[in-house]
Structure 1
Amino acid sequence: MRRDPLHSRLITALLAPVLLLTLAGCEDTPPEGSGAGFAGLGDSAEGYAQARPGTTLRFPEDHGAHPDYRIEWWYLTANLEDDTGEPMGLQWTLFRQALSPPNETPSNETPPTDPQAPGAWEADQLWMAHMAVSRGEQHAVAERFARSHSADPTRDRTGQAGAVAQPFRAWLDDWTLATRVEDPNADTFERLTLTAFDGEGESRIGYRLELTAEGPLVLHGDAGFSQKSADGQGSIYVSQPFWRVEGEVMLAGESHRVSGQGWLDREWSSQLLGPEQAGWDWFSLHLDDGHRLMAFQLRGGGEAGGDYRSGTWITPAGDPRALAPEALTLTPLASATVAGREVPTRWRLEVPSAALDLIVEAPYAQRWMDTSVPYWEGEVIARDRESDERLGTGYLEMTGY
């Protein structure tokens, strides 16, 4: 259902303070000793389902929402070129945050008389969506909020926000990632359309893109369980790193025909981080020889108080090999001042088992996401450290700076 701009601004004004409190996002970094982790993602998750090794994943069902878990996202990044050959980058993310464990009414809500028909302002799920478009020094960002009730089947496809598995659709207002597969018996996640626009006139940004999977889904970690700390916290983590992307991108009111590669992450968890982890550095790389690499480090939460690292080396055929914490090294080499913070934008990334020794650098440092929970997200170029040969492109996300 399309929402008018006034309605969207009203929803944002009403929900932003609630979401900020829920995510503990009132501070960029938690106070020392707070034990909440970055953005509250280390908070205790009693009453929610827990991400654990041995979880059986089922598709297409797991493309949809998991309201028994506290947090979840559908996260797309893409490295594109416009019709003049100029690089462009984009991000679109839909976040879901549960307000209370299943079958527990939030403290500020009145239990509905009929649990199958909650009132219009009763909600147990908050939604947030981010959009970003980049080209050269240009970097534009937009954000929206919504709310829903997981016990309301009548709003399954008509509410302001949601995610359903078959046929696949994930949306907030008119920002929509949806299938373009007509056969209801087929996997409707394999070919998607992403539509999202914001602003008017010279400030208008957005995209309408077609995504076509040219490889399989990839399960990270232990058959989909991605450990995030030495104490065992983690998430269910699945990626589609083989998107071919084509369509139209709008930036500063100008339209560009684009094509390139995309990477979509799906994660759900109830306690993603350990309580002392202050943020993360996450890389997704499309290498020119067809391999893909996902690598991250979470600052804190490792052995003896060090950082916790993990990753996945993916063959051109889509076969994943999990990388243990000792199998990769991430070393910041240079920083830039971004939004008044020192943010590392040049890294050395080593994976000895894949004979990789890379310099990964952001060609444009000013990619700050000035959203309710702020972070850095932008395009990177990967080069061989010894020869300086360009080996691929990708995206880098950094939180907690």
Structure 2
Amino acid sequence: MKRSLLFCLVTLLLWVPLGWAAGPDAASALSGETEACYRKAEPGATLSVPADLLPHEDFRTEWWYVTGNLKGEDGKRYGYQFTIFRRGLACDADETGVSWSARHLYFAHLAISSESDKSFHTGYRMERQSFGLSGWHKEPLRIWVADVSFVWDAGQIHLETRHGEPGFSLTLEPVKPPVLQGEGGFSVKDPASGSASHYLTLSRLKTRGTLRLPGRVVEVTGVSWVDREWSTGSLGSDQSGWDWLALHLDDGRDLMVCRVRGTKAAPDYYFGSISLTDGSYRVLGAGEFTMVPYGVLNAPSGRVYPGRWTVSVPKEAIVLTVTPLFDNQEHGDGVTYWEGAVTARGKGASGRGYLEMTGY
């Protein structure tokens, strides 16, 4: 039973990183709930840190998403992904007082990419919010799934995993104020259906700590990216997936661009932002940048993804070629999508970052 439950729920991960559930909603089937009893993202909300790092349990889905590019004391380059998701199973008030009553599921996806040997190490956790298996505390803010935790304390983020590989013990210090994606943090994903999320970003965080890999622990320093997003909704019926890219540019700017792919009956939808060196930022509309795929990346699953990307932001004099650190950075823990470290080189900028490609 546990294995079949895990299989049903882990399939949600394909759509959770941008707040949507694809196909049959396994969590709804298990709980008997529909999305109607949850709040939906609306314009006009006031978003801030650290207040909005707390869970928003009146929304169906949310996540604490972290990626980064690091350099080890061994002189080698690493990328990492650390993500905690919450999925609501029931939104009515819990009056049972029973500790095993599962109102929410928390799950985590972990990965480390090692550039030198082109190895990709992944991990996964899932627990219900009962018996202390997963959940959150307010002060200091702590979100956890089994041995995996995301902590905000004294203006810093601490990422920890106590067991297994890949493992993390990292401290992240924001060096810029938050970016409110979309209109003041109201980020539209499907204009036709009105699907949207509340979405804020900490685009640049100084990072230090250790990575735990099979047979070794590496001291690292570098820079990270944090996305905080919550929503209730579904991917539009005329949308098939997305390509999301976040880059730390060497000159201190931080760029995010995303393409939500339409079907033959609907156009692609684009949104993005750029954070400038002084901490100010601009939201980028569809006409202010391009991201064009080319080439082929053949993944171990047999899926075929774009191999490279050209990204252009004319007002910022940026034209970049984005290339994976190496091709095999595809998650396959019950759900399959490509998420990995990339490099960016070209006119007007260079840097490193992370690329996510889903729905292929």
TM-score (norm 1): 0.80
Per the alignment, residue 97 of structure 2 pairs with: 117
Per the alignment, residue 140 of structure 2 pairs with: 167
Contact 2:22–2:234 (Cα < 8 Å) also in 1: no
Residue from 121, 137, 143 that aligns with 2:124:
143
Q: Distance in 2 between matches of 1:400 and 1:48?
A: 26
User: How many angstroms does 1:301 deviate by?
Assistant: 7.4
> Which secondary structure state, in structure 2, belongs to the residue aligned with residue 62 of structure 1?
helix
The one-character-per-residue Cα deviations of 1:112-159 (angstroms, maximum 9, x if unpaired) are 7xx161341x2121111011111021111010101126xxxxx7xxx2
Per the alignment, residue 317 of structure 1 pairs with: 278
> Which secondary structure state, in structure 2, belongs to the residue aligned with residue 163 of structure 1?
strand
Per the alignment, residue 103 of structure 1 pairs with: 92
Residue from 356, 369, 379 that aligns with 2:331:
369
- Root-mean-square deviation (CA, aligned residues, Å) is 2.6
Per the alignment, residue 274 of structure 1 pairs with: 236
User: How many angstroms does 1:362 deviate by?
Assistant: 0.5
Please show how residues 153-302 of structure 1 align to structure 2 within 5 Å: 159-181=132-154, 190-199=155-164, 204-231=165-192, 232-271=194-233, 273-300=235-262
Residue from 87, 107, 121 that aligns with 1:128:
107
Q: Distance in 1 between matches of 2:43 and 2:23?
A: 23
Which has the larger share of strand? 2
Q: Distance in 1 between matches of 2:266 and 2:294?
A: 22
- Give the letter aligned to residue 159 of structure 2: L
> Which secondary structure state, in structure 1, belongs to the residue aligned with residue 36 of structure 2?
coil
Q: Distance in 2 between matches of 1:163 and 1:318?
A: 30
Contact 2:86–2:105 (Cα < 8 Å) also in 1: yes
Q: Distance in 1 between matches of 2:49 and 2:9?
A: 30
Query: Where does structure 2 lack aligned partners over 5 or more consecutive residues?
Result: 29-33
Contact 1:38–1:400 (Cα < 8 Å) also in 2: no
Contact 2:296–2:307 (Cα < 8 Å) also in 1: yes
User: How many angstroms does 1:83 deviate by?
Assistant: 1.1
Q: Percent identical across equivalent pairs?
A: 36
Query: Where does structure 1 lack aligned partners over 5 or more consecutive residues?
Result: 1-9, 27-34, 105-111, 150-154, 182-189
TM-score (norm 2): 0.88
Contact 1:246–1:259 (Cα < 8 Å) also in 2: yes
Q: Distance in 2 between matches of 1:344 and 1:163?
A: 38
Q: Distance in 1 between matches of 2:13 and 2:172?
A: 34
Contact 1:308–1:325 (Cα < 8 Å) also in 2: yes
Larger of the two Rg values belongs to structure: 1
- Give the letter aligned to residue 398 of structure 1: M
Contact 1:287–1:391 (Cα < 8 Å) also in 2: yes
Contact 2:211–2:217 (Cα < 8 Å) also in 1: yes
Contact 2:325–2:340 (Cα < 8 Å) also in 1: no
